[in-house]
């Protein structure tokens, strides 16, 4: 671990090997852009980050649940008021379903306001006779298939900052207007009225409104009481483009800690998680909560090493392990990881990303995911954690409020032949509105069944229930 003996600084990663970073043609221009970023106001405040970390710590100990969801790759063209408010609303809707079904407060984290950089498995893309550098997200190069668009341009980092700023500003304004408040459930409806998913959400909303009306009658101080049910929305993105991340890293005068103030939560991608390399080096020095993507090739030993490098003080809330093992491998690969982390006494919050281990490419080259595989990875992970006395504390999803046809299956009945009807993603296929709600409902139903069964067998054996988390008596 020679790379980690030197003192850390926001730029110490520069001495180490780095994967997935673009080679900018002009180092002087890159330097100017990073200096501009360093002078821009931060997007978030350290106190918000500290609050999120405490909530993630709770989620690690079974007291909360994290919903981290949003775009695979945000696009600059989507930096529009309506698109942003729809993103906010689907986050609110899915969080409410989770809170209702799991009987826990939900920590809502968007993959937004900075999710502009993409790691790629292939350096280049070939169409016909032409080969060009791969698209790496709007913060690095353009999606259009032309040599000019695909050239990495550091000025895109300033555009990304601008879009992140506008996105977050509009979300905060909507939040200030009270939209995140439980008393304003009617404002959470999406454009897509009349769909089956809408009906499902409306039913939950009606039940909650009924309950609130009852409380009001009962003499509660309504609506005052419900204004405290305002859910903050936190932001997150992959810590991929380290020039941008370093440009938004600031030292807190009071504590001396460094924070990435471009986002509340950063994660380490599957392709950049080598301990002696640049991305791990950068993340080990900031005080934000950090996610680690855990793919099928990670060994328990590697995972323990990685966690120890990034969280040497074994702080709760600092690390969220986001497993993305693939539906068919989860049953085999997840138990030894859980056991190793528990045996080493490491404090982590577990989450499941059922998206990135389940990507398939069809014969015509279209990238998709089958809803059944996504659902299977979620349910197997839930069962494995439950069996191991561990709490699956979150889901990490790629979803959109739009009526896209990118993933196959679900009650909405999308088939392979429908994929070209409305495929918009520049990167990975996302669950559409109906599929997102269905996934969350089924996850919650399965949780209730697991708990029911456990309570029933404990009652039969006349024992105290001893699972890794608190059981709610109403189940």
Under the criterion CB under 6 A, does residue 279 sit at the interface with ligand PEP? no
Pick from 264, 183, 174: nearest CA to 228: 183
Q: Which residues of 32-41 are buried (b: 16+ CB within 10 A; e: fewer)?
A: ebbeebeeee
C-alpha 448/C-alpha 303 separation (Å) is 31
Under the criterion CB under 6 A, does residue 138 sit at the interface with ligand PEP? no
* Closer residue to Co ion (CB): 428 or 438: 428
Q: Which of 21, 72, 319, 437 is close enough to bind Co ion by CB under 5 A?
A: 72
What phi and psi values does residue 308 have, to the nearest 5 degrees?
Answer: -65, -35
- Which partner, Co ion, ligand PEP, none, binds residue 119 by CB below 5 to 8 Å per kind? ligand PEP
- How far are the Cα atoms of 68, 120, 219, 298, 328 from residue 425, in angstroms, in the given order? 18, 15, 49, 28, 25
Non-local (6+) Cβ contacts of 385 within 8 A are 334, 338, 350, 391, 392, 468
Question: Among residue numbers 251 through 270, which ones bind ligand PEP (CB under 6 A)?
Answer: 269-270
Tokens found for residue 291: 């996610």
Under the criterion CB under 6 A, does residue 430 sit at the interface with ligand PEP? no
3-state class (DSSP) for residue 1: coil
Under the criterion CB under 6 A, does residue 119 sit at the interface with ligand PEP? yes
Question: Among residue numbers 307 through 326, which ones bind ligand PEP (CB under 6 A)?
Answer: 324
- Which partner, Co ion, ligand PEP, none, binds residue 58 by CB below 5 to 8 Å per kind? none
CB of 392 to Co ion, least distance (A): 20
CB of 356 to ligand PEP, least distance (A): 4
Residues in the chain: 475
Under the criterion CB under 6 A, does residue 293 sit at the interface with ligand PEP? yes
Under the criterion CB under 6 A, does residue 114 sit at the interface with ligand PEP? no
Q: Which of 37, 72, 384, 392 is close enough to bind ligand PEP by CB under 6 A?
A: 72
Under the criterion CB under 6 A, does residue 104 sit at the interface with ligand PEP? no
Under the criterion CB under 5 A, does residue 69 sit at the interface with Co ion? no
C-alpha 447/C-alpha 455 separation (Å) is 12
Question: Among residue numbers 404 through 443, which ones bind Co ion (CB under 5 A)?
Answer: 428
Under the criterion CB under 5 A, does residue 377 sit at the interface with Co ion? no
Under the criterion CB under 6 A, does residue 369 sit at the interface with ligand PEP? no
Q: Which of 87, 356, 369, 386 is close enough to bind ligand PEP by CB under 6 A?
A: 356
C-alpha 306/C-alpha 284 separation (Å) is 10
Pick from 432, 426, 418, 470: nearest CA to 115: 426
* Closer residue to ligand PEP (CB): 81 or 299: 299
* Total Cβ atoms within 10 A of residue 178: 13
Binding site for Co ion (CB under 5 A): 72, 428
Binding site for ligand PEP (CB under 6 A): 72, 119, 238, 269-271, 293, 324, 356
């Amino acid at each position: 671990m020679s790379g980690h003996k030197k003192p850390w600084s926001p730029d110490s990663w520069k001495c180490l090997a780095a994967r997935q970073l673009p080679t900018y043609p002009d180092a002087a221009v890159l330097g100017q852009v990073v200096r501009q970023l360093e002078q821009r106001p931060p997007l978030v405040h350290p106190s918000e980050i500290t609050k999120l970390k405490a909530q993630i710590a709770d989620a690690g100990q079974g007291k909360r649940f994290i919903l981290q969801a949003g775009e695979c790759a945000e696009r600059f063209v989507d930096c529009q008021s309506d698109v942003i408010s729809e993103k906010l609303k689907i986050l609110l809707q899915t969080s409410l379903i989770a809170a209702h079904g799991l009987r826990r407060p939900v920590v809502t984290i968007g993959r937004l306001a900075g999710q502009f950089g993409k790691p790629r498995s292939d350096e280049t893309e070939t169409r016909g006779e032409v080969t060009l550098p791969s698209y790496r997200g709007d913060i690095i190069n353009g999606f259009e298939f032309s040599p000019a668009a695909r050239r990495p341009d550091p000025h895109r980092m300033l555009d990304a900052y601008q879009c992140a700023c506008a996105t977050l500003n509009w979300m905060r304004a909507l939040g200030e207007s009270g939209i995140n408040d439980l008393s304003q459930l009617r404002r959470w409806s999406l454009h897509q009225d009349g769909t089956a998913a809408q009906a499902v959400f409306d039913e939950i909303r009606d039940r909650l409104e009924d309950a609130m009306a009852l409380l009001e009658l009962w003499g509660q101080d309504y609506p005052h009481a419900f204004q405290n049910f305002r859910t903050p929305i936190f932001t997150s993105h992959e810590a991929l483009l380290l020039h941008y991340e370093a440009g938004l890293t600031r030292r807190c005068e009071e504590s001396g800690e460094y924070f990435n103030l471009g986002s509340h939560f950063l994660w380490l991608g599957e392709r950049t998680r080598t301990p002696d390399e640049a991305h791990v080096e950068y993340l080990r020095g900031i005080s934000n909560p950090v996610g680690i993507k855990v793919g099928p090739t990670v060994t328990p030993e590697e995972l323990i090493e990685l966690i120890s490098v990034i969280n040497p003080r074994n702080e709760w809330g600092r690390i969220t392990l986001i497993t993305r093992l693939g539906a068919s491998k989860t049953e085999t690969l997840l138990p030894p990881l859980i056991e190793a982390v528990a045996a080493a006494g490491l404090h982590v919050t577990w989450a499941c990303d059922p998206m990135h281990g389940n990507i398939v490419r069809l014969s015509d080259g279209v990238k998709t995911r089958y809803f059944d595989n996504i659902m299977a990875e979620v349910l197997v992970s839930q069962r494995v954690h439950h069996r191991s006395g561990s709490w699956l504390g979150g889901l990490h999803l790629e979803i959109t409020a739009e009526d896209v046809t990118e993933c196959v299956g679900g009650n909405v009945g999308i088939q392979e032949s429908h994929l070209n009807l409305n495929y918009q993603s520049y990167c990975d296929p996302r669950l559409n509105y109906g599929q997102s709600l269905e996934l969350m409902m089924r996850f919650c139903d399965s949780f209730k069944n697991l708990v029911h069964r456990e309570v029933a067998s404990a009652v039969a054996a006349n024992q105290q229930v001893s699972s890794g988390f608190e059981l709610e008596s109403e189940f």
